[in-house]
Amino acid sequence: MTRTADQPRMATSRRVRRTLAAFGVAALLTAGCTLPAFAPRTEVEGAAAPTGSAPNWRPCPEVPDELVGRSAPNMRYECTRIAVPRDWGTGGGASAGPGAGQTFEIALLRARSTKQRDRVGSLVINPGGPGGSGVDTAVYLSFGPQFGGLPASITERFDIVGFDPRGVSRSSPVKCISDADLDASFGFDPDPASQAAFDGFVGLSQRIGRGCGDRYGDQLPLYGTEQAARDMDAVRAAVGDDKLTYLGYSYGTLLGATYAQLYPQRVRALVLDGAVDPQQRLVEGSESQARGFERAFTNFTRWCAANAGRCPIAPDARAAVTSAIDKAKVSPVRGADGREATAGWVFYAVISSLYTESGWQELAQAIDKLAEGDPKDVFRLADAYAGREDNGHYSNLFDANLAINCADETEKPSREQIRRLQSEWRGKYPLFGPALAVGMLSCVEWPGGRDPYPTGKANGAPPIVVVGTTGDPATPYEQTPRLASMLGVGRVLTWEGEGHTAYPQTSCITDAVDAYLIDLTVPPEGKRCPAR
């Protein structure tokens, strides 16, 4: 499962970014401006509106109540479901092909401020992953900047609309991986050195693939990005907008870019933050992430060396983390509940912490406590990434993540090639390279056909703002200009910061994005915003 969710920001979702915090009834329980990615899922009740018909919106304060413990001040929440064809290629009415004549239900939530004025329209949100819940994210973002949410300048001009893409959370969810197999996958040695250990991960990937293939069969390709982008046009119609205004994070940039290619004349404004390069295939994309995480980890180690008072594993944080993973391979620390902090769980604690700069100190403390025999914080970090609840149950985040990623992917390297890359990348990206190479097995062993998304220009679309963060681990900055160039109408906005995605982290980024969303003022060519 080492195919990292470009996260819900996988983690996100923030905006699917990784999070360690949860909202309490009255306050945020931990410091920092991060939004929770994983929480209980209140079902959006009611029958789905038939394809093409007007949706029936109903009040749904129970959704923020369950996710956060309360509604945001001055916010009202409404929910609905819409039906979309399972296969847009058949229009939902053809008699042939997988899913022909059948529909998926797409869950939507709309947050509307009671202080709304001069309404522009709806701002549709996707948090990334793939697999992150847009319904949850719309709730979190409605709480305002003090909690890492959207500024009042946006919430008072737009309805904030989140939707769960097909296969995700409340929208005809994919669920085909057992909790035990997810535990085994996340806990597996991230760099299986022996052939027997490597073959063990092959076998686990095959078992997961068989289970999903047995359950969904030839309909697995229908969870791909192009189908979901066509669903977005149904979402646009459901909220009553002639043109789409959209904020997509991480994988959500790929979804938005695909929409722009399919429906360029229906684009009002797209903000694509944490850019995915659609032209990268599996091997290139995996190496890009290995490079990005290695760079972010190096930045963490430099911070550690310069902030020894806040970093208990200083001065050599890399050595401390590498030693912790190596020790976990031979003698994992057992937690109070009997669970073992294997090398895989330690590795995912590292991955999880790199999505935000605020996670760096938490990682240092977790590794320090692990050395003292306490794995609790390692599990807390890793579980936040994995979507694992205290009772050992998982959300469907990674079921959907695999179904979507693998439906999109046409490249299928051989096991022998992956084994060679594991060794090669170990030399280039010592901590993350082997894991990102081996993680490709998840899609290599995935059953079913493929449905690749388009990779061309958005001819006829207005300017699209593509935001990149120079220290982003999951969607490395180099992908930002590539996406903008591919679309032909992209305008790059750069944040010289750390972590995954940028908006609304600083006033410079926020002001530029807000001006674009509200007034369609495109940022100047080459605009760069400082880290602070």
Cα 228 from chain centre? 15
Work out whether strand 103-113 and strand 490-498 pair parallel, antiparallel, or are unpaired: unpaired
What are the φ and ψ backbone dihedral angles of 27, each rounded to 5 degrees? -160, 165
Instruction: Say if CB 198 and CB 426 are below 8 A apart.
Output: no
SS (H, E, C) 475-520: CCCCHHHHHHHHHCCEEEEEEEEECCCCCCCCHHHHHHHHHHHHHC
Helix (H/G/I), strand (E/B), else coil: 170? coil
Q: Does 393 participate in catalysis according to the annotation?
A: no
**Residue indicated by tokens 């996406």:** 483
List the catalytic residue out of 6, 231, 383, 472: 472
Q: Does 500 participate in catalysis according to the annotation?
A: yes
Q: Does 423 participate in catalysis according to the annotation?
A: no
| Cβ atoms within 10 Å of 131's Cβ, excluding its own | 33
SS (H, E, C) 406-470: HHHCCCCCCHHHHHHHHHHHHHHCCCCHHHHHHCCHHHHCCCCCCCCCCCCCCCCCCCEEEEEEE
List the catalytic residue out of 250, 288, 358, 395: 250
Handedness of CA 504, 507, 513, 515 (dihedral sign): positive
List alpha helices for 15-158, DSSP H. 62-67, 134-141, 152-155
Rounded to whole angstroms, the Cα distance separating 115 from 156 reads 6
Instruction: Say if CB 113 and CB 234 are below 8 A apart.
Output: no
List the catalytic residue out of 113, 442, 500, 514: 500
Helix (H/G/I), strand (E/B), else coil: 183? helix
Helix (DSSP H) and strand (DSSP E) numbers for the chain? 18, 12
| Cβ atoms within 10 Å of 81's Cβ, excluding its own | 23
Active site residues per annotation: 250, 472, 500
